[in-house]
Amino acid sequence: MQQKDSAKGHAPGLGLVRKLRSLRFHRDRITDAIGNRIIHPYSDFLMHDIGSGDGIPVLPGADFAATATQIRTAPLWALRTRNRLMHDGLSFTKQEAISRHAGQATAIRTAFDALSVAQKDQVMAFLDSL
């Protein structure tokens, strides 16, 4: 709840993130199986190929070979408390992490890159509110 309220304070940034359609992947609402509570993880918890894959499939065998290039979408909640980003911890700023979004995220990252400086600041302020 507190997270929702703090996110509200950065409504323009949230609007931009929504407009970029990033929330299809960094999902802002997921129904919790326990007690039907709403949480806001900003992740779909699914595997995606954004070009940062580590070459390790989730399970051995041909059926899972394709997952070698995929990584599970990181939840963005409490992002402001972390200073080592992405699964390998090799990105030290939000901008660096966003720059590493390629593959399935290329179109959305390109749209992010095309935002004005003021709009990017709003997205960053929104991320800092999580």
3-state DSSP of the chain: CHHHHHHHCCHHHHHHHHHCCHHHCCCCCEECCCCCCEECCCCCCCEECCCCCCCCCCCCCHHHHHHHHCEECCCCCCHHHCCCECCCCCECCHHHHHHCCCHHHHHHHHHHHCCCHHHHHHHHHHHHCC
Scanning residues 28 to 47, which ones bind ligand HEM (CB under 6 A)? none
- Shortest approach of ligand HEM to residue 66 CB, angstroms? 14
Residue 20 interacts with ligand HEM (CB under 6 A)?
A: yes
* Size of interface with ligand HEM, in residues (CB under 6 A): 25
Residue 73 interacts with ligand HEM (CB under 6 A)?
A: yes
- Shortest approach of ligand HEM to residue 107 CB, angstroms? 8
Residue 14 interacts with ligand HEM (CB under 6 A)?
A: no
Binding site for ligand HEM (CB under 6 A): 20, 22, 25-26, 48, 50, 52, 71, 73-74, 76, 79, 82, 85-87, 94, 97-98, 101, 104-105, 108, 112, 123
